Structure 1
Amino acid sequence: MGICASVASEIHDEAYGQENAVCYTEIGNTNGVQVIGSTYSHPGSKGLNQDSAILIQGYGIENGAFCGVFDGHGKNGHIVSKLVRNRLPSLLLNQRNAIAKISASALNTSSSKQGEKVNGESTPSKNFMKWKEAGLSAYKVMDKELKLLDKFDFSCSGTTAVVVMKQGEDLVIANLGDSRAVLGTNSPEGIKAVQLTTDFKPDVPEEAERIRKCKGRVLALKEEPHIQRVWLPNEDSPGLAMSRAFGDFLLKYHGIISIPDISYHHISPNDQFLVLATDGVWDVLNNDQVISIVASANDEEAAAKAVVDASTAAWKRKFPNSKIDDCTVICLFLQKRINMSCS
């Protein structure tokens, strides 16, 4: 389960240790305001748990939050997922602060107002545009930093990164790979699931087209015809099952990219909670099932573990002869149900 601790207002790259799922409060930026959420990670049966997750309270602004889930793969996947988990929050914040200083005057001349509606829909705020620019820059820098780490071989190892930053009533989503973020929102028919990210797998037509233009191959093995993988032009390796990732430098010349898809969501009173999870969860549970589990949890503290427990049970039931994948979940509650803090 995620552990709670406090870190200085300057986020340190190595502050988060070696726990797979962690939850932190940034000192000096909360003024007693509690972000309600939980994190939980459970190893599968394939070996080391290569998943990592982090929930930071007081990120950016006093009621802000940073949620990030990272699914490592390859020989050194457990290393790269923690390196990204430990470094990316500060990279994003530093890039955002630098962009805000440089572009403040230009952004102030914009005619659009925060929360302005066009055709009945909320448009992204000026604050979102700063975060989007920061996200594109930070993800690029993160991948370069990994490549420069001579003591680790990330040629065929990498990680996904699905990140959601809550800043006031704005959600900024930056997605890389096939982990997923889903929103639970009230509707006349009850609580429903709204998927906020795209699973970037090689079978997505636009992703496959880019990979093939770079001479990478996209095809499934006979023994697993339902899984499209990315292969080198003239070798049957490494067989990556996603189209975007940090690391995996052997395939960066053949269409695998570390450019995130960055999107915006304005929180409405109907939006109840957010779930981020690795594909070990989504391979056996659909969006509606996960949202239902979280909505039915005894309290916010127990929500993430409830989803992971249900995922592990579903793996054993659906694929009794297969190795269970690592399962990692973050739940962030956007409307307060009861006074619970990070678990």
Structure 2
Amino acid sequence: MVNCWCFSGGGSTENQIHEITDYGDRDAVLYPQLETVGFGSGLEGFGSVCSLPGTKGLNQDSALLHPGFGIGGEASLCGVFDGHGENGHLVSKIVRNELPAILSGNMNTWPEKQWKEICHDTFSTMDKRILKRKKTLDCSSSGTTAVLALRRGEELMIANLGDSRAVMVMAGTNENEDARALQLTNDLKPSVPSEAERIRKSNGRVLALEAEPNVHRVWLPFKDYPGLAMSRALGDFVLKNYGVIQFPEVFTHRITSDDRFLVLASDGVWDVLSNEEVATVVVAAESEKVAANAVAKAAAEAWKMKFPAAKVDDISAVCLSLNQKQSTSM
């Protein structure tokens, strides 16, 4: 089953989410705001979004693609949210549903507040909203990553929390050269020295288990728990006093004539495909309406080839077309 999401329309983000749901009846009863109707996977001349469930259980990824975002509908918003832990599938959907409205409200402070401050305020508010649900939703060791991109004119602004990634797909330097890829974000994992230093200064532990020596995780000071594989996240409140933070890294990029697509994807893509391989898939896609589907399917095939005995991770991608006029309506 392919799960795809898209926001449509301008102005307020409330009641504008279209989704093919994939959670159980219990979750729909507890969180009826998550129930929405199905929609397609792409908009011609704009982009596409796709999420494939892995083989670990419920698909914990969520994604959005929102033309006509913000006051006046002058911006475009897209994002990928990779949940983890027992309730990660719910956290990622709640963030996907609520974070755009929070961001839209905070955008009213622009340009008095810079992009970094706006993002920090937005993510902090989102984290507090998740915590307020603690009586009905335990997020002590459940949470989500988030990579979010806002296009406004020729300015591209990105916020990244965790180990999802944003990559720019650019044209080759000549007609005979393959598309180029430029990674716009850092993978924020405990193995990054600056991230590990912050965690250790807060008395958290960073170490890899013998069974997976290449995967560094965050642990409590005196307990081998919970073993979080990223250094920043929304939720995961048991580690918030031990160096795991909810504040994203932020970046800006001015779109050039060489820029073709912005790709946002969860680590289910990047664990098996390089930036350059993803760029090749995107430019070879039949259209921008199916580019995200092409990336997701290529990643699924790569999992089968590279890790035939392993459980496949959830795979999500958003492809935003940058070289065509933005659309603000369906």
TM over 0.5: yes
Equivalent residue in structure 2 for 1:179, among 160, 164, 188: 164
1:148 aligns to 2:132 (yes or no):
yes
Whole-Å separation in 2 of the counterparts to 1:342 and 1:44: 32
Whole-Å separation in 1 of the counterparts to 2:181 and 2:200: 33
TM-score if structure 1 supplies the norm length? 0.84
> What one-letter code is carried by the residue in structure 2 that aligns with 1:144?
K
Equivalent residue in structure 2 for 1:40, among 45, 50, 53: 50
Q: 1:42 to 1:24 in 2, by over 3 A?
A: closer
Q: Do 1:13 and 1:87's aligned partners in 2 also have CA atoms closer than 8 Å?
A: no
Aligned to 1:166: 151
1:133 Cα deviation after fit: 2.2
Whole-Å separation in 1 of the counterparts to 2:313 and 2:184: 23
Q: 1:5 to 1:53 in 2, by over 3 A?
A: closer
Aligned to 2:14: 12
1:2 Cα deviation after fit: 2.5
* SS class of match (2:158): strand
Whole-Å separation in 2 of the counterparts to 1:79 and 1:90: 18
> What one-letter code is carried by the residue in structure 1 that aligns with 2:260?
Q
* SS class of match (1:263): strand
> What one-letter code is carried by the residue in structure 2 that aligns with 1:255?
G
Equivalent residue in structure 2 for 1:232, among 216, 220, 227: 220
Whole-Å separation in 2 of the counterparts to 1:216 and 1:307: 36
Aligned to 2:29: none
- Give the 4+ runs in structure 1 shifted more than 3 A: 3-8, 13-25, 339-343
1:333 Cα deviation after fit: 0.6
Q: 1:248 to 1:23 in 2, by over 3 A?
A: farther
1:14 Cα deviation after fit: 7.8
Aligned pairs for 1:291-306 (under 5 A) are 291-306=279-294
Q: 1:341 to 1:64 in 2, by over 3 A?
A: closer
1:336 Cα deviation after fit: 2.8
* SS class of match (1:55): strand
> What one-letter code is carried by the residue in structure 1 that aligns with 2:165?
R
> What one-letter code is carried by the residue in structure 1 that aligns with 2:226?
P
Unmatched 5+ stretches in structure 1 = 26-32, 104-128
Q: Do 1:273 and 1:335's aligned partners in 2 also have CA atoms closer than 8 Å?
A: yes
TM-score if structure 2 supplies the norm length? 0.87
Whole-Å separation in 1 of the counterparts to 2:211 and 2:266: 24
Aligned to 1:121: none
Aligned to 1:119: none
Whole-Å separation in 1 of the counterparts to 2:307 and 2:231: 25
1:238 Cα deviation after fit: 0.5
- Aligned-residue CA RMSD in angstroms? 2.6
1:65 Cα deviation after fit: 0.7
Aligned to 2:120: 136
Whole-Å separation in 2 of the counterparts to 1:43 and 1:182: 22
> What one-letter code is carried by the residue in structure 1 that aligns with 2:181?
A
Whole-Å separation in 1 of the counterparts to 2:148 and 2:10: 21
Equivalent residue in structure 1 for 2:60, among 33, 39, 50: 50
Whole-Å separation in 1 of the counterparts to 2:7 and 2:225: 42
1:298 Cα deviation after fit: 1.1
Aligned to 2:91: 80
Aligned pairs for 1:1-343 (under 5 A) are 1-3=3-5, 6-7=8-9, 9-12=11-14, 15-16=17-18, 19=21, 36-60=46-70, 61-97=72-108, 99-100=109-110, 103=112, 130-149=114-133, 150-188=135-173, 189-336=177-324
Deviations 1:212-264 (A, max 9, x none): 11111111111111101111111111100000000000000111000111110
Whole-Å separation in 2 of the counterparts to 1:311 and 1:24: 17
Q: Do 1:155 and 1:248's aligned partners in 2 also have CA atoms closer than 8 Å?
A: yes
Q: Do 1:165 and 1:173's aligned partners in 2 also have CA atoms closer than 8 Å?
A: yes
> What one-letter code is carried by the residue in structure 1 that aligns with 2:315?
C
Q: Do 2:41 and 2:290's aligned partners in 1 also have CA atoms closer than 8 Å?
A: no
Using the aligned pairs only, state the percent identity.
Answer: 49
Q: Do 1:24 and 1:56's aligned partners in 2 also have CA atoms closer than 8 Å?
A: no
1:24 Cα deviation after fit: 10
Q: 1:22 to 1:178 in 2, by over 3 A?
A: farther
Whole-Å separation in 2 of the counterparts to 1:84 and 1:191: 33
1:11 Cα deviation after fit: 1.4
Q: Do 2:67 and 2:328's aligned partners in 1 also have CA atoms closer than 8 Å?
A: no
1:130 Cα deviation after fit: 3.5
Deviations 1:196-221 (A, max 9, x none): 10000000000000001111111111
What number of residue pairs does the alignment pair up? 308
Q: 1:22 to 1:6 in 2, by over 3 A?
A: same
Q: 1:251 to 1:57 in 2, by over 3 A?
A: same
